[in-house]
Structure 1
Amino acid sequence: MSNVAQANLNLFWFLPTHGDGRYLGTTQGGRAVDLPYLQQVALAADNLGYYGVLIPTGKSCEDSWLVASALAPITKKLRYLVAVRPGLQPPSLAARMAATLDRLSEGRLIINVVTGGDPVENKGDGIFLDHAERYQVTREFLEVYSRLLKGEKVDFSGDHIRVEGAEILFPPVQQDGPPLYFGGSSEEAIDVAANQIDTYLTWGEPLEQVAEKLAVVRKRAQEKGRTLSYGIRLHVIVRETEEEAWAAADRLIAHLDDDTIAAAQKIFARMDSTGQARMSALHSGSRDGLRIGPNLWAGVGLVRGGAGTALVGSPEQVAERIREYQALGIENFIFSGYPHLEEAHRFAELVMPLLPLAANAEKKQRNVNTGPFGETIGGDRRPQKSVSAS
């Protein structure tokens, strides 16, 4: 295990543009995810000191670019991790969109490069390519896209992409364009990351599996003379005690029935995503054995594609697990919790104070009524900090 912990962490939250609620796999406890609700989540993340928010992509989600464009003006420091889709959009168009949103957000855009791993959804989007071909498209796409955002005029002819005299006239705020984030566990994906990506992302597998994967990516990047940063995508269920946290995890899937789980697993099985296969293997579609590591739970993945694991425990336990992943070289943590508005506050209040956060470095201590002291007692006095009863 590599002990390359960073001094500070970037903590992201998640915008649930594909739905939100108190329980998985049911309408019970569900809530409308409209613009006012997304505004609440984004404003909470901004005010609580999160580094940024991930906006998901795919046919099950609202469009990530339109959502980011709607929310950026109402936030101050929050960054938006928004997807480009090689094969679904031409690189020149994607570069213009990125440069525009980077300017409109005053440099708060981060790009999530998503190749797509569901052949059925891909065909619905007009993409009829196999796994290897999609990553070839991604390599060609990024060659053109990255050069455009560096201010070059580009002529390029590949197996899938061809442009002549491509250029963008209005540059991004961030030099050379917004940073590129990317996740993928296949050999083709790791090659893309090693050659063209700034931050490599993994889903929340057990510590040993993550260490093994990052070692491969790090070695491949070093062979190319490059150094990457690293991130991880996890859900989180934190409560004041471990017992309360595990009880909350059980409640989250309390309304799941076997038919719903089987239907979800059938969809995941048709995918040619190596990362999704690794996620599914953690639980094999069964409720048995969902605790797959210290404070690591695979229950979310029973019905949710992509990131399917959660850190579950007390604030101290969750912080310790985060520090263990940090020791592998991970400095970007993308979290979510159900419901996303309440859990953004809970995680910020219980866990953030236990971690060194890059995003909070410039935050000034608040006082008077903006300080974290609770409700005034008897309309007369502010409560004092509670003393541990140890």
Structure 2
Amino acid sequence: MQVFWFIPTHGDSRYLGTSEGARPVNHEYLRQVAVAADSLGYEGVLIPTGRSCEDPWVVASHLAAVTQRLKFLVAVRPGLHQPSLAARMAATFDRLSGGRLLINLVTGGDRAELEGDGVFLDHAQRYAQSAEFIRIWREILARSHAGEGFDYEGEHLTVKGAKLLYPPLQTPYPPVYFGGSSEAAHELAAEQVDAYLTWGEPPAEVARKVVDVRERAARHGRTVRFGIRLHVIVRETDAAAWAAAEDLISRVTDETVVQAQAVFARMDSEGQRRMAALHAGARNKAPTLGAAAASLPTEGGQSPRGGPSAIGRSRADLEISPNLWAGVGLVRGGAGTALVGDTKTVAARMQEYADLGIDTFVLSGYPHLEEAYRFAELVFPLLPLETRQRIAGTGGTARPLTGPFGEIVGNQYAPRTPRASQS
């Protein structure tokens, strides 16, 4: 089990959908999150991509210099990058970071944004282009170790004598991650990538994806690893966790939800459609959440303006699977679900996904700095022994923490350390 964290290059806050409690997107704050993830023992961090974010390659280059072991999952974008240039960027970053690069192949699903970036292909064409892109990228890097060139002529991309003089540190190339829910995405993943990522859907839906991609990969004579992208809201008690979830969306207005969902609806991403469908129950009860607030199950939520919170009242609809909450997706594109619960419950839900074949968990929480610490302190001790050993440094790359831990009691005694489970 590998646990990753997230670098919030599109902004961070204590409350979704508002600037209240917001954090600046600047080098100092992003550095704090990265250093925290590095020192706490997270395997790596995902850096998002898109016009709402700072550029992931520039951000990763800055953060590699202030971290020691942390790996960086950074996007390549077919149509925005050329594969030969992306190969050189990857090789340079991999060498200079000491082999800490992971590649996130992102096809994109927002046609309006893509057209603004000069990409005018439809859904099927974009996946065909992505398949050609990553094939060229992989071959250039793999052949660079022997100093060989590469020719390729495709429908969308062609290279002649493509060559890389400085190979990456990792062989044959930095691992490629990829996510997508359409049939074209599953076929691309099965044929070419190292790890398939899914957004946080209920376990039964994730299981179907894993089985489908695994069977497709077997037909290509390949194996693929699997990961999941989730938010986490973990507290020492279940009640406190759910209160934190409701607090996170307590400032969201009905108008903000409607505006956000209109943007998501224009996308041709199958994954985004599936994310939106998860919280459709709450929306289907009312054209706008506020219009039917009285009909939604009451959970005691109060809006900052004093009346009942329409969003907070919809928790019964937003918990779309045990402890899997779709509230984040009301206003956030992409990953829209969170695991919510006490420490043992969240660890158990993660194990349920692991039992399906998921070995990489790409997590985040609001605000990302504090929640990186909270998750590490509360959940890391409950993860499988091998994972804990790697995090602590006894079985992997993370450096062991030496303490002292906690404030010295009475100027003399160190506080007791709880025993971790050995299972």
Classify the TM-score, shorter chain: over 0.9
Which residue of structure 2 aligns with residue 225 of structure 1?
221
Matches within 5 A, 1:159-174: 159-174=155-170
Which residue of structure 1 aligns with residue 75 of structure 2?
83
In structure 1, runs of 5+ residues without a counterpart are: 1-8
In the alignment, structure 1 residue 352 sits paired with structure 2 residue 380:
yes
Among 113, 128, 137, the residue aligned to 2:129: 137
Which residue of structure 2 aligns with residue 317 of structure 1?
345
Q: Deviations 1:317-341 (Å, cap 9, x if unpaired)? A: 0000000000011100000000000
In the alignment, structure 1 residue 377 sits paired with structure 2 residue 369:
no
Matches within 5 A, 1:248-327: 248-284=244-280, 286=283, 287=311, 288=314, 289-327=317-355
**Deviation (angstroms), 1:73:** 1.4
Local SS of the residue matching 1:74: coil
**Deviation (angstroms), 1:365:** 5.1
Q: Deviations 1:222-277 (Å, cap 9, x if unpaired)? A: 11111000000000000000000000000000000110000000000000000000
**Deviation (angstroms), 1:377:** 1.8
Matches within 5 A, 1:184-199: 184-199=180-195
Given the two structures, how large is their TM-score scaled by the length of structure 2?
Answer: 0.87
Separation (CA, whole Å) in 1 of partners of 2:332 and 2:55? 19
Q: Deviations 1:72-92 (Å, cap 9, x if unpaired)? A: 011111000000001111000
**Deviation (angstroms), 1:359:** 4.2
Does the Cα contact within 8 Å between 1:182 and 1:193 map onto a contact in 2?
yes
Higher relative contact order (CA 8 A, sep 6+): 1
Local SS of the residue matching 2:232: strand
**Deviation (angstroms), 1:294:** 1.0
Which residue of structure 2 aligns with residue 72 of structure 1?
64
Which residue of structure 1 aligns with residue 84 of structure 2?
92
Which residue of structure 1 aligns with residue 199 of structure 2?
203
Which residue of structure 1 aligns with residue 305 of structure 2?
none
**Stretch moving more, 211-220 or 334-343:** 211-220
Separation (CA, whole Å) in 2 of partners of 1:27 and 1:65? 26
Q: Deviations 1:86-111 (Å, cap 9, x if unpaired)? A: 11110000000000000110100000
Which residue of structure 1 aligns with residue 292 of structure 2?
none
In structure 2, runs of 5+ residues without a counterpart are: 284-310
From the superposition, tell whether residues 76 and 365 of structure 1 become closer, same or farther in structure 2 (CA, over 3 Å): closer
Question: What is the root-mean-square deviation in Å for CA atoms of aligned residues?
Answer: 1.3
Q: Deviations 1:271-306 (Å, cap 9, x if unpaired)? A: 000000000000026343001111110000000000
Matches within 5 A, 1:44-55: 44-55=36-47
**Stretch moving more, 375-384 or 78-87:** 375-384
Q: Deviations 1:167-209 (Å, cap 9, x if unpaired)? A: 1110000011100000000011111001100000000000111
Identity %: 59
Does the Cα contact within 8 Å between 1:296 and 1:312 map onto a contact in 2?
yes
Separation (CA, whole Å) in 2 of partners of 1:384 and 1:18? 40
Does the Cα contact within 8 Å between 2:10 and 2:52 map onto a contact in 1?
yes
Count of aligned pairs between the two proteins: 376
Separation (CA, whole Å) in 2 of partners of 1:365 and 1:30? 33
Which residue of structure 1 aligns with residue 287 of structure 2?
none
Does the Cα contact within 8 Å between 2:404 and 2:414 map onto a contact in 1?
no
Does the Cα contact within 8 Å between 1:10 and 1:359 map onto a contact in 2?
no
Separation (CA, whole Å) in 1 of partners of 2:193 and 2:123? 19
Which residue of structure 2 aligns with residue 4 of structure 1?
none
Does the Cα contact within 8 Å between 1:238 and 1:347 map onto a contact in 2?
yes
Local SS of the residue matching 2:407: coil
Separation (CA, whole Å) in 2 of partners of 1:364 and 1:232? 25
